[in-house]
Amino acid sequence: MTFDRDNPATWWGFNPLIIAHDVGRSRDRSTAVVGGNSTFQPRLTGMTEFIELPQGLYGSARASALAQVDRRQENNALIVADLSNDASYAEVLYETFGRRVIGLQISRHGDGMQFERRPVRNSAMPVYTIGRTYLLNLFHDELNASQIRMVDNDMSRKAFAQLAELETEQRETGIVYKCPAGRHDDLGMSCAMLAWAARHPHLSNWVNFIRPRTTRVRTQQYGWAAFT
């Protein structure tokens, strides 16, 4: 398939391949978004799979469901996982994926540059702190700069709709994004997490944890309409 900048299903591979994993609370679904930077245009980030994991999964059961997504990618992805609501989940993820996991603590403040090394078994996992507003603004800026491309399907449109439905509230500390009552933003947040990881200056260091192997993107019959 000929490379098409607007259709990441034609990119043949990502450099690196990333799975962003937002962890939902009891009434929400945990999600995973698969994508990464184009091997042809490294400044361009693509997203090809948008997955809502089954509800009611916790701990090892949730990690096992995420591992099914990872196996479809030949166990070759960098896992960027939200640990905001369950710090103990880091241990479970490490048992499942090893050193490929990068943790993310989403809070009120932080630019996603500072991290702590959280102990897991006989090793440590880097866990970065980032403000929710900062994370969403970064993703919004990447969209406006036309540096994000998604396959066009029902799940990608659902992810984008979640972000479009977010309400903003102006406070003394700045704008705050709020999810409307009864709505969800987990799939959209996974997109924002992937975009953050794809642009992070530490990305090359994280990639050292991945086996040096090329992963192909399976051909998908999707057209593309730019999300801007």
The average confidence (pLDDT) of the chain is 88
Task: Say if domain 8-151+186-207 classifies as CATH 3.40.30.
Answer: no
Query: What confidence tier does 148 reach under pLDDT thresholds 50, 70, 90?
Result: very high
Largest pairwise CA distance in the chain? 51
Instruction: Name the percent of the chain lying above pLDDT 70.
Output: 89
Whether the pLDDT of residue 34 is over 60: the answer is yes
- pLDDT at position 131 is 95
Whether the pLDDT of residue 35 is over 80: the answer is yes
Range from 165-179, 191-205, 209-223 carrying the lowest mean pLDDT:
209-223
Whether the pLDDT of residue 217 is over 60: the answer is no
**SS3 sequence of the chain:** CCCCCCCHHHCCEEEEEEEEEECCCCCCCCEEEEEEEECCCCCCEEEEEEEECCCCCCHHHHHHHHHHHHHHCCCCCEEEEECCCCCCHHHHHHHHHHHHEEEEEEECCCEEEEEEEEEECCEEEEEEEEEHHHHHHHHHHHHHCCCEEECCCHHHHHHHHHHHCCEEEEECCEEEEECCCCCCCHHHHHHHHHHHHHHCCCHHHHHCCCCCCCCECCCCCCCCCCCC
Whether the pLDDT of residue 216 is over 60: the answer is no
Higher pLDDT, 211 or 48: 48
Annotated domain spans of the chain: 8-151+186-207
Report the pLDDT averaged over residues 108-126: 94
Report the pLDDT averaged over residues 168-173: 74
pTM above 0.85, yes or no: yes
Q: Are 47 and 189 in contact, with CB atoms under 8 Å apart?
A: no
Query: What confidence tier does 116 reach under pLDDT thresholds 50, 70, 90?
Result: very high
